[in-house]
Amino acid sequence: MTRLTVPIFVPTQAAARPWPEQIEAAAALGADMIELRADTANKDLIAAAINEVKAARRFDGKPLLAMVTIRPRWEGGLCDLGDDARAALFEHALGCGADLLDIELQAIEQSANLRHAMAGWFKEHDGSSPDGRAQLVVSAHDFSGVPVDLPQRLGRLQAVSEAAWLKVVFLARSLADAIRALELYAMHARQDARPLLSLAMGEGGVMTRLLAGKFGAPYNFATLPDAAGSAPGQPVLPVLRGTYGVQRQDAATRVFGVAGWPVGHSISPAIHNAAFGAVDFNGCYIPLPIEPAYRVFLRTMDALRACAGLNFGGCSVTIPHKDNALRYARERGLTVEAGAQAVGAANTLLFPERPRPGLCLNTDIDGIRSALAQAKPAAVAVPRAAVFGAGGAARAVVHTLKEMNWRVTVFNRTAERGAELVQAMGGFSMALESKPLQDFKPAEFGLIVNCTPVGMYPNIDASPLPEGAAIMPGHLVFDTVYNPHETLLLRQARAAGAEVIYGLDMLLGQAMEQFKSFTGMAPPMDVMRKAAETALGR
């Protein structure tokens, strides 16, 4: 099992809670291990901190492990001591009951004294202290990027015969770099039976932290909810435990995600992981931050599909990749479903296990249909719809409304883009046209749909309606924006006595269709709605 480990600096760093309180909080949240970052600690402090960890109890009564790290400046830490002085502190920590020592590969390679001392602390080819209680972790960090000699570095870690666990960490500048870290697990497993932790730092590397359990890492770092981590990209403990279920993962766990840029704010991981948990599906759904350019999307999708041991089952696709997803599907021979074809964009890619080539869908259409169905639009007096916006969401809305026999007029800030949308969806006709924003006359329409981001958090005091245009009773107003739940537009609509449709209903509708495609199971609707509402702070 992957031990969830909270790094805590002793002495406490500026602006953080005092370290004893942090240990208590980590135990209360179910941490398995504390990494005592004793970079600037003296012997007394190390002894006191180890005692504090040993005295702490998790909510289930289990004790915590204490790992001691004294990281030198040349490896990204704060310690100015030489290797001999650090060796004396490590020996002291062992005497005080430390369960694990993390010692840098470079220190072991460069210091004969440290190697000599280590030979007394840990048995060769065993990885434990003579009394079997303490163990050695040998680690290598690179804060500049993917080490050019990554396989060789792994080989050097493997050569430390006293080590029980090995740890490689480097800075990821992209998801592709993170995949390099994950691929190291398979390479290591072919060469060495000892557990490996392979992590990528930074936003690009977050997936290595979220999937550490799946790859059999012996431990994994997490921060306390109110603390800054000791490395960028470290997730918060309850999220790692709860949302991503790191300790429930195993080699068979199927991985899904949401591809976008930026994607850190997405509530899709909360929705899909809650749903996976509710139906006992062995899957994990993660954010996949991929830079906007198509060539980056192409390279990253290919790398995700090829990554040994990842079991990448597919992904949701959001801004700015919906066009890229369709292009990718066409270039890679995936089956493109009619909806995605008609809209000219996709929000779902599926990669079933071979030999099927994969599938490209647009479940936004399903989301729009189910949202409209809830509001009984057939009751609307005027069967004409005004759609604000001409981007990806507007394309899906226009396509769906046309299929439902609505007459649609597109109003967009940039009039030419509105006209382009109309051309792309079959051209100007009785059923479809575009007009300048200032020509919007509310009385001509029964349904008004906002497909612009106007009114979305944090700009919650904005409305997409042109000045002077007022909503009337009998209107049905659909805002695709779901954060906040009730936008200014919907508040205005309700105040005018109009019926409203919330963007969250569309989001949940499209997510439920994705869930069916990912798992082949019926979506647990209530669980998904509750997870979405919680993630949105409702």
- Residues in touch with ligand NAP (CB under 6 A): 319, 364, 367, 389-394, 412-414, 417, 451-454, 456, 480-482, 503, 506-507, 510
Which tokens hold the place of 471?
């909503």
* Residue that is written with structure tokens 């005018």 in the block: 496
CB of 210 to ligand NAP, least distance (A): 23
Nearer to ligand NAP, 4 or 454 (CB): 454
Asked if 7 and 229 touch (Cβ cutoff 8 Å), the reply is yes
Is 399 known to be catalytic?
A: no
C-alpha 269/C-alpha 243 separation (Å) is 8
CB of 521 to ligand NAP, least distance (A): 21
Nearer to ligand NAP, 17 or 417 (CB): 417
Is 364 known to be catalytic?
A: yes
CB of 479 to ligand NAP, least distance (A): 8
Nearer to ligand NAP, 23 or 394 (CB): 394
Asked if 356 and 332 touch (Cβ cutoff 8 Å), the reply is no
Is 322 known to be catalytic?
A: yes
Residue type, 483: N
CB of 312 to ligand NAP, least distance (A): 23
Nearer to ligand NAP, 162 or 364 (CB): 364
CB of 319 to ligand NAP, least distance (A): 5
Nearer to ligand NAP, 127 or 503 (CB): 503
C-alpha 432/C-alpha 50 separation (Å) is 71
Residue type, 167: K
The count of other CB atoms within 10 Å of the CB of residue 272 is 28
Nearer to ligand NAP, 12 or 370 (CB): 370
CB of 366 to ligand NAP, least distance (A): 10
Pick the catalytic residue from 92, 141, 188, 399. 141
Task: Annotate 1-58 with DSSP letters as a single string.
Answer: -PEEEEEEESSPPTTSPPHHHHHHHHHHTT-SEEEEE-TT--HHHHHHHHHHHHH-B-
Q: Which residue is nearest to ligand NAP (CB)?
A: 391
CB of 497 to ligand NAP, least distance (A): 24
Pick the catalytic residue from 39, 364, 479, 505. 364
Taking the mean position of all CA atoms in its chain, how far away is CA 123? 40
Asked if 193 and 237 touch (Cβ cutoff 8 Å), the reply is no
CB of 402 to ligand NAP, least distance (A): 17
DSSP category for residue 285: E
Residue-wise burial string across 464-484, b where 16 or more C-beta atoms lie within 10 A, e elsewhere: bbeeebebeeebbbbbbbbbb
Task: Annotate 287-332 with DSSP letters as a single string.
Answer: EEE--SSHHHHHHHHHHHHH-TT--EEEEEE-TT-HHHHHHHHHHT
Q: Which of 452, 465, 140 has the alpha carbon at shortest distance from 319? A: 452
The count of other CB atoms within 10 Å of the CB of residue 407 is 18
Q: Who contacts 411 (Cβ-Cβ below 8 Å, separation ≥6)?
A: 386, 387, 388, 418, 434, 435, 436, 437, 439, 440, 466
C-alpha 372/C-alpha 399 separation (Å) is 13
Nearer to ligand NAP, 348 or 480 (CB): 480
Which tokens hold the place of 10?
């002793």
Nearer to ligand NAP, 93 or 410 (CB): 410
Pick the catalytic residue from 214, 272, 321, 322. 322
Pick the catalytic residue from 102, 142, 167, 402. 167
Nearer to ligand NAP, 241 or 322 (CB): 322
Mode of pairing for the β-strands spanning 348-350 and 312-317:
antiparallel
CB of 200 to ligand NAP, least distance (A): 29
Asked if 82 and 70 touch (Cβ cutoff 8 Å), the reply is no
**Degrees to nearest 5, angle at CA 349 with 344 and 355:** 120
Is 192 known to be catalytic?
A: no
C-alpha 170/C-alpha 202 separation (Å) is 9
Q: Which of 496, 452, 490 has the alpha carbon at shortest distance from 473? A: 496
CB of 375 to ligand NAP, least distance (A): 14
Nearer to ligand NAP, 109 or 323 (CB): 323
Catalytic positions, please? 141, 167, 322, 364
